Amino acid sequence: MMILDLKKLKLRSVNERLQNIDRKNKRDFVISNPEGNHAICAGLTDNIDVTIKGHVGYYCAGMNQNANIIVDGNVGTGVAENMMSGKVHVKGNASQSAGATAHGGTLIIDGDASSRCGISMKGIDIIVKGSVGHMSAFMAQSGNLVVCGDAGEALGDSLYETDIYVKGKVKSLGADCEEKKMSKKHKTKLKELLKKAGSNIKPEQFKRYGSARKLYNFNIDNVSNY
């Protein structure tokens, strides 16, 4: 295990080292003293393990591919933004836009996530063990958002084919979002996602929400919703 201390090393050099892994490099890293720095672990492409020991700022693990990143603290805006693959596990809370525009991989948040969690998500699986803020999954296109707590206003506003699972209360649904039937297929998928996040909550305790598909094409009767 290699320890990278941000009190001794510049952030740019740490990111460059993690972005340029070859067969001779170690595959297991610990970043100490992050102290809220932004863009830690951005742009990683290799199958490596990185543990960040503390709180981080904006865009941690942005554009991640293949790497397994653990944040032992809270994260700022846009954690795992535009992630393609791999896994990001936040042990604390997340600020707004967690998992924004992400195409793949898994984002696990042990605490709460703020507004716009999963905004414009395009294939990522996001599991939030706490609650999410307003306009989560706004314009979400595909993937899964699992919320073990409550959801704020305008959940799933203008979403496409993303499945949203919520255990707690939903303050309000956004335009074109509605409650959907929870089939056996969806329960099986949800069980897999919860297991991946280390949760033993039963899928039967959740409700599923998805697109009513009324905004796919312009319709004058729905003009007030556009």
Q: Which CATH class is domain 2-225?
A: mainly beta
Question: Per-domain residue ranges for the chain?
Answer: 2-225
- CA pair distance 72, 93, nearest whole angstrom: 10
Q: In this predicted structure, what is the pLDDT of residue 163?
A: 98
* pLDDT at 31 exceeding the cut of 70: yes
Least confident span in 41-55, 87-101, 179-193, 207-221: 207-221
* pLDDT at 150 exceeding the cut of 90: yes
Strand partners, 127: 108, 146
Q: In this predicted structure, what is the pLDDT of residue 61?
A: 98
- CA pair distance 39, 46, nearest whole angstrom: 17
CA 66 to chain centre: 15
Look up residue 43 and give its two tokens.
């742009």
Q: In this predicted structure, what is the pLDDT of residue 225?
A: 66
- The sign of the CA dihedral 14, 197, 116, 149 is negative
Helix ranges (H only) for the chain are 11-19, 184-196
Q: What is the mean pLDDT of residues 86-100?
A: 98
Q: In this predicted structure, what is the pLDDT of residue 222?
A: 67
Q: What is the amino acid identity at position 109?
A: I
- pLDDT tens across 35-89, in order? 999 999 999 999 999 999 999 999 999 999 999 999 999 999 999 999 999 999 9
Q: In this predicted structure, what is the pLDDT of residue 135?
A: 98
Least confident span in 51-55, 124-128, 133-137, 216-220: 216-220
Q: What is the mean pLDDT of residues 100-122?
A: 98
Q: In this predicted structure, what is the pLDDT of residue 218?
A: 67
